[in-house]
Amino acid sequence: MLYREAGQFKTTYAQDMAMFPIRQDRIAFILLLALAFLVVPLLAKLQIWPFGGEYLLRAILIPFLILSLAAIGVNILVGYCGQISLGSGAFMAVGAYSAYKFGTGINIPLAWLGTAIVIPPLPVLPSILLGGLMAAFAGVLFGVPSLRIKGLYLAVATLAAQFFFDWVFLRVPWFTNYSSSGSVNAPALNFFGLTMNSPIERYFICLSFVTVFALLAKNLVRGNIGRQWMAIRDMDIAAELMGIRPLYAKLTAFAVSSFIVGVAGALWAFVYLGSWEPLAFSIDRSFQLLFMVIIGGLGSILGAFLGAAFILVLPILLDQVPHALGIPISVETVSLLVFIITGSLICYLLIVEPHGFARLWSTAKEKLRLWPYPY
């Protein structure tokens, strides 16, 4: 009875084309934002359960937000444009290491010209955004094969990006500023003169990035470019005969997707890890992001969040269950059990709802709109 759009008349197309055309959705969204921006930090500040001891913020919410952002990026490419990519981890790495280089300053001597490319160390925010931009370049470069190959073959081609960048960041010491261990430290998190180091402040950084990029991404996918992406995904020949250029549509999808993934990578390195090595962006990360998108729902911004929550948070929760119930099981058994349970849940979910959580959610909403008189 609560979720009912009866009586909400739309008199302009602008109203009908709003991001949340139904009033209850708008209210829910504002409440969610208020919860994320006000209530969570307040509870964390006051150390009220479940925010005692920073664990929830530092180990769950921050990585959840960053991976959601990355999943949004992957979803634009895989879910909206239908180009399967296994290189997301690499694009995160490009974002992270580029942001690191911009943050620590770049000096490329060009001896034969008698000059050098010198960029002084940039503040954190431009570094992160430029990191995203570099990832976008890398994405476009490795997206070029998509013009000729599709599906699984493209997935294999994007795998090349993964292995290439893994190798580059491991073997080319320039990227790590010649650090002897291969591990690098992020510059201080200084935004507009404010140093943001506590978990609450870091949470704020991530939340702001995710909110802004999620809204921008939502606007893109419901606009003209989003329709072009989906047209290419659903029927590329018809799309081309309607004047959609596959080159433009596919490469913009790669660029936008990699940009968002790159920003997420920079956040992952700067805000979550603090210091990292190339292993943080291995192929496991690519798979993890792809699974998030598939389970959350291909072609849905909301799905990226749901998928990230499922893949990231479920194992952590399952980990706590035996401990909370007081069952004496060894830590190794628990971690194996977590693998088994997560895996079977994924199988079960994909059989029951191959379109992921986002579809479950929209089906539920459709049912609710008619409830209790579905006829």
Interface with another protein (CB under 8 A)? 12-14, 17, 216-217, 219-220, 223-225, 227-228, 230-231, 233-235, 237-245, 252, 256, 299
Q: Which two tokens stand for residue 156?
A: 């294999």
In terms of CB distance, is 4 or 355 closer to another protein? Answer: 355
Minimum separation from the CB atom of position 1 to another protein (A): 23
Name the residue nearer to another protein (CB basis): 58 or 218.
218
Minimum distance from residue 245 beta carbon to another protein (Å)? 5
For another protein, the closer CB: 154 or 225: 225
C-alpha 266/C-alpha 93 separation (Å) is: 8
CA-CA distances (angstroms) from residue 195 to 124, 187, 190, 205, 270?
Answer: 10, 11, 4, 11, 13
Closer Cβ to another protein, 21 or 126, answer by number: 21
DSSP 63-107: HHHHHHHHHHHHHIIIIIS----S-HHHHHHHHHHHHHHHHH-EE
Find the shortest distance in angstroms from Cβ 299 to another protein: 6
Query: From the CB of 88, what's the least distance to another protein, in Å?
Result: 20
Residue 238, Cβ density class (10 Å: 0-12 exposed, 13-18 middle, ≥19 buried): exposed
Prior bond of 145 cis (ω within 30°): no
Return all residues near 46 (Cβ < 8 A) that are at least 6 apart. Answer: none
Taking the complex as a whole, the smallest distance from the CB of residue 62 to another protein amounts, in Å, to 25
CB of 13 to another protein, least distance (A): 5
Q: For another protein, give the closer residue by CB, 86 or 239.
A: 239
Contact 278, 42 (CB under 8 A): no
Rounded to whole angstroms, the Cα distance separating 125 from 144 reads 29
Residue placing its CB nearer to another protein in the complex, 194 or 241: 241
Contact 140, 251 (CB under 8 A): yes
Distance CA 180, CA 210 (A): 34
Structural tokens at position 353: 């709802």
CB of 303 to another protein, least distance (A): 13
- What is the enclosing helix (H) or strand (E) of 110? strand 106-110
Please check whether residue 306 is in contact with residue 296, taking contact to mean a CB–CB distance below 8 angstroms. yes
Closer residue to another protein in complex, CB, 9/112: 9
